[in-house]
Amino acid sequence: MLVPAPRHVALNCRARKHAIFLGVVGLLSFADSGRAQLSGTVSVVSDYRYRGISLSDNEPAVQVGVNYDDATGWYAGAFASTVKSAAYDTRGVHVISFAGYAWRMASGWSLDAGADYSVVAASPRYDYPEVYAGFAYQNISGRVHYAPRYFGQNAAALYGELNLAQPLLENVRLLAHVGVLNTEANKYYGNPSGVLFDGAVGLGIDWQGFSMQVNWVGVNHSSGAYAVNGIERRHGLVVALSHSF
């Protein structure tokens, strides 16, 4: 498997518009429900880490997300973040649109399943569809994701994650995350097992609609699964400031 050759950002306009279109259609499809809830978040982060890998070349990024939840269990949304690749001297936007269904149980457990579509509008062009299934119970959640061609590579990928948000004080949470990516593309950067581990631990502080998170984030190995990334620092402190609306 070879890393895709660089292409000009303009070649990604169709894929980028397709991802945004999916997100908008997903939101509008539930707009007739009076019981539904629309929410959004605007964030500034010191480093955009996607599953442990920096997609902003270890530099700050601006992000926005919107989510629509219906009382019947359906949900949809979209997320966008600025990205940068020093290797290809390009900047762009990473867009993820998603839709799914959540089953909420009286016991407190919640299960969900859905699909998302990811596009990185920066050279080289690589987009991919993904399906997922997950659970949530109290302060713990987890998901398993499957992509038939991860980040446009000619290799499928399976990603599993567990997340913890444990309240410590009234507005302070302990945050923890662990993820495992298994794909043949990992092996091309000297990772013979094809498995990439990522993790994060930190604190979240909420105050009057604002949230600040400080996390130590890292991965155990560089990966050939990501053609646009900053791999000079595999570990580092990431600070994020968000406002919800």
In a domain, 1, yes or no: no
CATH of the domain at 13: 2.40.160.40
Q: DSSP state, 185?
A: G
Choice between 16 and 64, residue whose per-residue pLDDT is larger: 64
In a domain, 35, yes or no: yes
Contacts of 179 (CB under 8 A, 6+ apart): 51, 52, 159, 160, 161, 162, 197, 198, 199
Number of independent structural domains in the chain? 1
pLDDT at 66 over 70: yes
In a domain, 118, yes or no: yes
In a domain, 2, yes or no: no
pLDDT at 89 over 70: no
Q: What is the pLDDT of residues 91-145, one digit of tens each?
A: 889 999 999 999 999 999 999 999 999 988 765 567 899 999 999 999 999 999 9
Alpha carbons 103 and 143: distance in angstroms, whole number:
14
Q: What is the pLDDT of residues 156-198, one digit of tens each?
A: 999 999 999 999 999 999 999 999 999 877 666 556 666 889 9
Q: pTM higher than 0.85 for the full model?
A: no
Alpha carbons 143 and 164: distance in angstroms, whole number:
12
In a domain, 4, yes or no: no
- To which H or E segment does residue 25 belong? helix 13-28
Which residues are paired to 91 by β-bridges? Answer: 84
What's the pLDDT score for residue 231?
54
Residue 27 belongs to what domain range? 9-244
In a domain, 43, yes or no: yes
Determine how β-strand 126-137 pairs with β-strand 109-120. Answer: antiparallel
Cα–Cα distances in angstroms (integers) from residue 149 to residues 70, 96, 157, 158, 226, in the given order:
30, 15, 7, 10, 12
